A and B are shown apart, each in its own frame.
Chain A
Amino acid sequence: MKSRILMFVFAFAVWCILTWVPDVQQLIAGGAVALIVSVVMGSMFVNRPHMLFNPIRVFYFLFWYVPVFIWELIRANFDVAYRVIHPGMPIKPGIVRLRTELKSDTGLTFLANSITLTPGTLTVDINRDDGVLYIHWINVVGTDPETTFREIGSRFEPMLKKIFEEDVVE
């Protein structure tokens, strides 16, 4: 039920932004559409609503994860641009394993997306039972677990563990 209410608020806000500046007719139509959407598919929007209202997690997400993510994204672009315009193409690709301790769906999704948009790495598949991510790496440094964790996972996994995992309480 809480998930459906959240879905209604979210859909209604997106509608208001898309039809800026809203008047009465558009507000009524938007309310009807948001109601239909939240009744039909609201149950799969948020599974754990108490996580969303935890101010420490939201604070960490906005002021720790997002700046690091944007900085890594810009670095990744310069890295790829260098590899593309270099005449010899200094690439050494391969697919390696990365062990992770994240369990929740949201955490794994954010970890995979962050890895895809950071320098030289692309998530190919996730094996959730063993906690292994398969990562295509454009410049393989080493294949043993310690090296891959140090080079790929150590930037994002601790903060995502604090933001999305159940047990860690500050």
Chain B
Amino acid sequence: MMKLARWIAGTVVLLGLIALIIVLPFRSMFFQQNQEHIGFAGRVVYILILSSLMVLYRVLKGPTAADRIVAIDIFGILIVGLCAVLSIASGRSWYIDIGIAWGLQSFIGTLALSKYLEGRSFDD
């Protein structure tokens, strides 16, 4: 019963936040050129920031080290999508270069961290 109440409360809060982002006329920071994409891209960026906050909750709370590593990996992939949206919002193609470089760095960092995690219980 308690679980169901928590589920309903969480759903209402999440849907409310998303509806607020979609409905409110935000002044977007990310535009100079493509005037017709402004509102859409700004809202997409805010929803991506919302899901990044959920990932950051797992980074802060995560009971074990592996949870934090997973969360940081997912955070890197989210940033690749964010860079793609910024590149169509501003019409500059080098944003997506930042995305590709960030994805590569995040992948290599995840591999290194998981190697560290694996070596901790064995002494090799």
Chain A positions near chain B (C-beta within 8 angstroms): 18, 85, 87
Q: Is the interface of B mostly helix, strand, loop or mixed?
A: helix
- Inter-chain CA distance A87–B3, complex, in Å, is 8
Nearest chain A CB to B39's CB is how many angstroms away? 27
The answer to whether B40 has its CB under 8 Å from any CB of chain A is no
Distance from A49 Cβ to chain B, minimum over Cβ atoms (Å)? 26
The interface on chain B, measured as residues whose beta carbon lies within 8 A of the other chain's beta carbons, has a size of: 5
Closest to B3 in A: A87
A146 → chain B closest CB, angstroms: 32
> In B1-59, which residues have CB < 8 Å from any A CB?
3-4, 7, 11
Task: Report chain B residues within 8 Å CB of A18.
Answer: 97
Q: How far is the CA of A18 from the CA of B97 in the complex (A)?
A: 8
Cβ distance A87 to chain B, nearest Cβ, rounded Å = 4
CB-defined interface of B73-115 with A at 8 Å, one 1/0 digit per residue? 0000000000000000000000001000000000000000000
Give 5 nearest A-B pairs by CB, closest first: A87-B7, A87-B4, A87-B3, A18-B97, A85-B11
* A26 and B11 alpha carbons, distance in the complex (Å): 52
CA distance A18 to B4 in the complex (A): 50
Q: How far is the CA of A85 from the CA of B11 in the complex (A)?
A: 9
CB-defined A-B contacts under 8 Å, sample of 5: A18-B97, A85-B11, A87-B3, A87-B4, A87-B7
Q: Closest CB of chain A to B6's CB: distance in Å?
A: 9
Bound Cα distance A18, B101 (Å)? 12
- In chain A, what residue has the closest Cβ to B8? A87
